[in-house]
Chain A
Amino acid sequence: MLDLNYDYSSCVRNSEKVSWRVDDVIPPGTQLDFSRPFLPNSLSGAHQLTELSDDERLKLNQITGNAYINLFKFVEEYIVATVVDHAQAEMHGDHDALRALMRFADEELKHQQLFTRYIEAFQTSFGTPCGVLDNAAEVAGVIMSKSPIAVLIITLHLELMTQEHYTESVRQNQTIDPLFVSMLKHHWLEESQHARIDALELDKLVSDAPATAIDAAFVDYLGLLDAVDGLLAAQSAMDLDAFRRVAGREISPEQAQRITAAQHAAYRTAFLVMGMRNRMFVELMGKLSPGRTREIASKAATFAAE
């Protein structure tokens, strides 16, 4: 149904070519450089807040960078569990698929360890406690309670979105912290295979699924987007709290509202809109249900406008 031009074996070969170790990217004891922004402007709302000083905008960007990495670590929790389920379904069966899925799960765990190391370095050196979402197990439970097709659709969304962040906003950026760029580059190298494996798994599930099941999965997916948006709003509020501590000055209610709104809008663009509008994602969803792609586009426009 999805008419894909790759297979599990090619994903394993590519994965072997680009494989890396956590210690090579962030060696133990790494000190972060807080003189530069961590995120490009396209993924952070801080630059829009012209009422803040340069130093305050830099600090808010770094707070956002830390939360951004935590959000990846956060969603990888459910992705590992999902991929292990898919690997279990291939046990004693297709060994090419099983190898690809086992590598996928291993790499996601490695990414979590990489991000944990970064977050620990951030917490040690930033100087101000910054709250981040910490209910990964609950969120994993909510996502995994949806239909397996819906879980793969949102996973594909997240994997393709991650790649787009790196290729479109990070790779060529000369102003942001080089360690942050390196971390996202190494993440992207392996996520490229993950998105392909997601699509291969999705293709298997939809090939024998009735149209009603595919339709129900899109309803689940759209609902999950709202759930993710709720998490992004919660993170935005935590960012404001962290910013208050780091700024060490009075923040008016109006200014607080503007900071939270800028943070939330930036997260929405990064985590929702960019995934929903990703060219490959739109193309694959169009093969599943052309009608539903219009609904996704309309919801993306709503997220982008709010």
Chain B
Amino acid sequence: MTPALQKLTNLMGAERGRRFFDQMLDELGMTALATPQDSLRFGEALMEHGGVLASIGRSVKIHAILHGANPKPTVSAAPPA
């Protein structure tokens, strides 16, 4: 079980957590969290939900970075012409 799924099921229960996890994967066009980069993307998407899901997302994101994912470089907005 991936850390992301583990955290979701810890907080939402096995069935609901699994359903939410699969739904998130669908929304992201993914079939599994096969790499740290996949987990990073999943964590960032979770963070957009706010509340406790954002807390789980932050945790998933940091876990992914510790395991080798590269966080996206910050791109500052271009100044108005």
The residues of A with any CB-CB pair to B shorter than 8 Å are 85-86, 88-93, 147-148, 205, 208-209, 213
26 contacts across the A-B interface (CB closer than 8 A):
A85-B62, A86-B66, A88-B62, A89-B3, A89-B59, A89-B62, A89-B63, A89-B66, A90-B63, A91-B7, A91-B55, A91-B58, A91-B59, A92-B7, A92-B10, A92-B55, A92-B56, A92-B59, A93-B6, A93-B59, A93-B63, A148-B65, A148-B67, A205-B66, A205-B67, A209-B68
The residues of B with any CB-CB pair to A shorter than 8 Å are 3, 6-7, 10-11, 55-56, 58-59, 62-63, 65-68
**Are the CB atoms of B59 and A88 closer together than 8 Å?**
yes
Q: Which residues of A contact B62 (CB under 8 A)?
A: 85, 88-89
Q: Which residues of B contact A205 (CB under 8 A)?
A: 66-67
Report how far A90 CA is from B58 CA in the complex, Å.
10
Among A85, A93, A148, A208, the most chain B Cβ lie within 10 Å of the Cβ of: A93
Report how far A92 CA is from B6 CA in the complex, Å.
8
Q: Which residues of A contact B59 (CB under 8 A)?
A: 88-93
**Are the CB atoms of B67 and A93 closer together than 8 Å?**
no
Q: Which residues of A contact B68 (CB under 8 A)?
A: 147-148, 209, 213
**Are the CB atoms of A208 and B10 closer together than 8 Å?**
no
Report how far A85 CA is from B67 CA in the complex, Å.
12
Nearest-neighbour CB distance to chain A for B19, whole angstroms, equals: 17
Nearest-neighbour CB distance to chain B for A79, whole angstroms, equals: 15
In the complex, what residue of chain B is closest to A210 when comparing beta carbons? B68
The one of B11, B65, B66 in contact with A92, judged by C-beta atoms closer than 8 angstroms, is B11
With A88-B58, A92-B59 as known contacts, state yes or no: A148 contacts B66, CB within 8 Å: yes
